[in-house]
Structure 1
Amino acid sequence: MRARNRIGALLLAGALTTLTLTSCTGSTEAGGGGGEATEQNKPDKLTVAAWMDFPQDLLDSFEDEYGIEVVINSFPDGASAQTVLRNGLSSDGAGLSDVHLIELDWWTEMMAVPEDWVELPEIPGRWLDWKVDQGSVDGRITGYGTDIGPLGIAFNQDMMTAAGVATDDSSFSRFIGGDAATWQSFLDAGRQYVAASDNYYIDSLSSAFQAAINLLPAAFEDPETGDPYEMADNEQVKELFMMFAEAAADGISAGIPIGHSDWGAGFQNKQWATVVTPAWMAGIIAENADGVPGWRISETFPDGGGNWGGSFFAVPSTGKNTAWAVKLADYLTSPEAAVQWFHTTGQFPSQLDAIANPDIADTENEFFGGQKVGATYGDLAAAAGDAAAGGFRGENFAGIQTLVTEGISLVEAGGATPEEAWDKVVSEFDALGFDTAP
């Protein structure tokens, strides 16, 4: 999950694109205030529940155009926002905001009752097709896409040079397997690195494992029924788990994932040389590693690449201002707005026009040595192709993924062997009492 961050101009320099936004019109199917947004039903303010910083110019421009104040109900992290949303949906909308930011990993759970959400008007040509598909339930668009998280690897070329294994992006790419890079070749490179260095290869294998899970077509649940697979019989997950757990047992990881209290200090102390870095994490690294030179984003990713993360703005149908909330969700996800999000928080856009915008693709990033980070992530997204859409995520995906990744963390901490950790994962899964897929 994305950590809340404030990076300002650290991420990328350059002037922000002037917002000249147009709104869509259309009807909603549910909720008070449905239908068209008019002067007669215009509220004084609209609320948005989220866990990240908003471009203030974006909020101000909406208020200037429509005379409606936008108030952000801010949460420290996505998990907190998820809990409030879950509770509100189970109590007829109590405590919900007009618009909610919903992360991909818990999207399916929140959309379990589609009628809880306003159907949003189609906006042809705005987003990647697979992003629209992700934000739809039974053919109804219920979420307007914000960002995507094309996967990359941040590496410190100074540390790689000191270890004698790589000196630039091309040699680092070859080091981890080049065009044929796999998770196995990436982890084997880690074993080689720690043998030649006095620091760790990677911040956290539990984070890297989560990225690998996202590339599986159906990691934990049957796409036909939504029922979880028996963990003991889930050979594809077990094989992947053991690959990462054995690397953890070999000591290539510091065992400090993003969100850990020591993650920032780890960068400052140069404890590790690589981080699996979806696009939204690049700015967070720039903030936490401020003053530590040598960080770059590789153009190579294991197994061809994929996607981790990405969110949607959705409108609860119980709201009193649903028509105007739809207009706000549209406004916050226009291509022009996406450029502002990129410069403010580092979110890589899902909007086609924004992806191709030179203000994203051609801007040099000072922290990453002048690298055109937007272009790099655009190339990584293109290389991933359909895999960027990720695999099937049912209602229980997020919870099961947490259980399994905690098994990797246990090995990283020296609390179990890989075999013991897997047995613990299976035992804890069984204790949940799921009706499993046949």
Structure 2
Amino acid sequence: MKLSRRTKVVAAVAGAASFALLAAGCSSSSGDSGSSTNPITLTVTTFGTMGFDKLYAQYEKEHPNIKVKATNIDTGDNALTDWQTKEAAGSGLPDVQAVEEGWLSKVMQVSDQFNDLKSYGANDIKSRWVDWKLKQATDKNGRIIGYGTDIGPEGLCYNSKLFKAAGLPSDRDAVATLFGGDSATWDKFFSVGEQYHKATGKAFYDQSGFIWNAMVNQQPEGYYTKDGKLNVENNADLQALWSKLGAGAAAGLSANQTQWDWGKGKAFTDGTFAAFVCPGWMLGVVQGQVKAGGGDASTGWDFANVFPGGAANWGGSFLTVPKQSKHPKEAAALAAWLTSATSQVATFQAAGTFPSVTAAQSDPGVTGASDLTKFFNNAPVGQILAERAKGVVAQYKGPDDSVIQSQVFGPSVQEIDSKKKTADQAWADAMKLLNQLVVNK
């Protein structure tokens, strides 16, 4: 499903050592606790750019008995493959494994292969997270197997200079009104896109895949029903949304970009498209792409408090401690520290990773000025994301959710974007892939 995400890390973190020590003192580990002269090494596997690099260094400074050896995998899909391979082999997993929301249900199928963090103090800190985030990481036996990092409420990134040149409002409040404010719909989004295309002759958004992802995530039930049954074939609501998406592509609103490859950022700086769907963590991606393409804050990207179709959440991750860890006590302490309010403020400042910890959501480090706010024309990024998070409900993600998103609908998105197939033809192709890759696998 995703994701090559986030760009850089900012700010050292202090003051959370006492919390880590509390968590560390709740149980014994199978390994040596280490010392400053002979520290133990904790291995961590993440994906994209989760904003932890400087936090690792800070943790080592505050815990001289610990060394952190981090491995970062480029995308969530590749991280899933890495985890599945090592899980099947019964060896090679790290002490702390990052898990993406889209494949959390796969992890839950083998949740007994992960440590119950209640054994390491989870009950003492479980109130820190929004309720639905904690529920996502709790298995059917009541074991908490993951500490929440970010959540992904979505707003709309747009290029104010391109909007203005097309005769559209460019002020973020006016842009929110343009799309319908609290009553924003996908019909209105595509209508504005048609206005833009008519005025400029250019595409409105980069490609259809991210829009489709948002549309699906907004439904009460996505690719699976709440009781775990497939919910795709003959789903009239999804087919209706797919038709809207196909019509937008047919009208020239999609720039037919390859997902996660925008020509080394050039598409963000040369006017290839003007609007982009943005969960919090995507803000860092946009900033990084603009800079890679030779641009900066003056390129004109802004962030509006609006999203077609209403509240939506895309993504979010968890830190788990596999049973393969030789140092579960120390690994759980590190995972707890990395997901403390202080740490989540730091990762937000780095890349817009909106906290799942409630205390961090209202922290001045999130609601106030940051490198991201300056880049996005002084937009109150944290405040907007807090508003966009209202009404978000965690959608059940089935075991093949990420496969359906990337391997079933991914090729069909390319078919409509390239105009090689109609929406109906591309949907039919997706259903064939669904039966090959999921139903009859």
Q: TM-score over 0.5 for the alignment?
A: yes
Q: Give a deviation string over 1:66-108, Cα, whole Å, max 9, x none.
A: 220011012122222211111111122x111111111100111
CA contact (8 A) 1:206 1:406 kept: no
Q: What is the match of residue 137 of structure 1?
A: 139
Range moving further from structure 2, 98-107 or 160-169: 160-169
What SS does the corresponding residue of 2:89 show, helix, strand or coil?
coil
Report the Cα distance in structure 2 between the residues aligned to 1:431 and 1:172, rounded to whole angstroms.
Answer: 43
**Offset of 1:43 from its aligned partner?**
5.9
Q: Give a deviation string over 1:338-392, Cα, whole Å, max 9, x none.
A: 111112233111111111100110115211112221111112112xx2xx23321
Report the Cα distance in structure 1 between the residues aligned to 2:9 and 2:338, rounded to whole angstroms.
Answer: 18
What SS does the corresponding residue of 2:84 show, helix, strand or coil?
helix
CA contact (8 A) 1:227 1:435 kept: no
Report the Cα distance in structure 2 between the residues aligned to 1:300 and 1:4, rounded to whole angstroms.
Answer: 22
Runs of 4+ in 1 over 6 A off after TM superposition: 26-29
Report the Cα distance in structure 1 between the residues aligned to 2:440 and 2:289, rounded to whole angstroms.
Answer: 43
**Offset of 1:415 from its aligned partner?**
1.5
Report the Cα distance in structure 1 between the residues aligned to 2:304 and 2:216, rounded to whole angstroms.
Answer: 20
CA contact (8 A) 2:9 2:51 kept: no
Report the Cα distance in structure 2 between the residues aligned to 1:4 and 1:174, rounded to whole angstroms.
Answer: 29
Q: What is the match of residue 381 of structure 2?
A: 373
CA contact (8 A) 1:181 1:303 kept: yes
Report the Cα distance in structure 2 between the residues aligned to 1:366 and 1:282, rounded to whole angstroms.
Answer: 12
Q: Give a deviation string over 1:96-150, Cα, whole Å, max 9, x none.
A: 1111111100111122111011111221321111111111111221110001111
**Offset of 1:206 from its aligned partner?**
1.4
Report the Cα distance in structure 2 between the residues aligned to 1:53 and 1:212, rounded to whole angstroms.
Answer: 25
**Offset of 1:48 from its aligned partner?**
0.2
Distance 1:27 1:257, change over 3 A: farther
Report the Cα distance in structure 2 between the residues aligned to 1:433 and 1:316, rounded to whole angstroms.
Answer: 26
Structure 2: which amino acid aligns with 1:174? Answer: T
Task: Extract unaligned runs of 5+ from structure 2.
Answer: none
Q: What is the match of residue 40 of structure 2?
A: 44
Q: What is the match of residue 114 of structure 1?
A: 111
CA contact (8 A) 2:23 2:336 kept: no
Q: What is the match of residue 288 of structure 1?
A: 289
What SS does the corresponding residue of 1:170 show, helix, strand or coil?
helix
Q: What is the match of residue 312 of structure 1?
A: 318
Report the Cα distance in structure 1 between the residues aligned to 2:73 and 2:232, rounded to whole angstroms.
Answer: 34
The answer to whether residue 333 in structure 2 is matched with residue 337 in structure 1 is no
Q: What is the match of residue 399 of structure 2?
A: 395
CA contact (8 A) 1:256 1:263 kept: no
Name which of 148, 156, 171 aligns with 1:153. Answer: 156
Name which of 188, 193, 197 aligns with 2:191. Answer: 188
Distance 1:433 1:174, change over 3 A: closer
What SS does the corresponding residue of 1:73 show, helix, strand or coil?
strand
Report the Cα distance in structure 1 between the residues aligned to 2:364 and 2:382, rounded to whole angstroms.
Answer: 9
CA contact (8 A) 1:206 1:257 kept: no
Distance 1:377 1:421, change over 3 A: same
TM-score (norm 2): 0.89
Range moving further from structure 2, 172-181 or 237-246: 172-181
Task: Extract unaligned runs of 5+ from structure 1.
Answer: 10-14
Distance 1:345 1:141, change over 3 A: same
What SS does the corresponding residue of 1:148 show, helix, strand or coil?
strand
**Offset of 1:179 from its aligned partner?**
2.5
Report the Cα distance in structure 1 between the residues aligned to 2:180 and 2:71, rounded to whole angstroms.
Answer: 45
CA contact (8 A) 2:12 2:55 kept: no
Report the Cα distance in structure 2 between the residues aligned to 1:253 and 1:368, rounded to whole angstroms.
Answer: 23
Report the Cα distance in structure 1 between the residues aligned to 2:236 and 2:50, rounded to whole angstroms.
Answer: 40
Report the Cα distance in structure 2 between the residues aligned to 1:61 and 1:131, rounded to whole angstroms.
Answer: 26
Q: What is the match of residue 260 of structure 1?
A: 261
What SS does the corresponding residue of 2:71 show, helix, strand or coil?
strand
What SS does the corresponding residue of 1:309 show, helix, strand or coil?
strand
Distance 1:141 1:79, change over 3 A: same
Distance 1:28 1:401, change over 3 A: farther
CA contact (8 A) 2:202 2:252 kept: no
Aligned residue pairs: how many?
A: 420
Distance 1:390 1:415, change over 3 A: farther
Name which of 397, 404, 412 aligns with 2:409. Answer: 404
The answer to whether residue 229 in structure 2 is matched with residue 227 in structure 1 is yes
TM-score (norm 1): 0.89
Please, what is the CA RMSD of the aligned residues? 2.4
